[in-house]
Amino acid sequence: MSFRDDLLGQNVTPVPVSEFGIKGRKEVYLDGQNCGVLIDRKSRYLRKDAHGFLELKEALEKHQGGSLKGWVLLRTAPLCSKAKTLLEEAGVHIEQVD
């Protein structure tokens, strides 16, 4: 089973980002090689949000001591094309799911 399927099936336990010294009320899903977020909101996922995820991923990589694959799965949020481009250039998997 892939990390994407685990994330959608909620087979991975969410961890508050505050445990990694990051401000905010967000949660991130982690396993050995992956970090991901599941976005479930009505407002558009913007470039600002993409930058925030990349900063989060970088902080997690420093904390874990290795590189991680990034995953952003959007349930209901529309996706800004600039955010999509930014994440794809950074090697992050981004997908809109139902």
Give the pLDDT confidence score for residue 1 in this predicted structure: 61
Instruction: State if pTM tops 0.85.
Output: yes
Q: In the chain, what are the domain boundaries?
A: 3-96
Q: Where does 3-96 sit in CATH, by number?
A: 3.40.1350
Q: Would you state the pLDDT for residue 19?
A: 86
Task: Specify the long-range contacts of residues 71-74, CB closer than 8 Å, at least 24 apart.
Answer: 71/3, 71/4, 71/7, 71/29, 71/34, 71/35, 71/36, 71/37, 72/36, 72/37, 72/39, 72/45, 73/4, 73/7, 73/8, 73/36, 73/37, 73/38, 73/39, 73/97, 74/39, 74/45
* Averaged pLDDT, groups of 10, the chain, 98 residues long: 84 88 88 91 95 93 91 93 96 91
**pLDDT for the residue 32:** 83
pLDDT of residue 69: 95
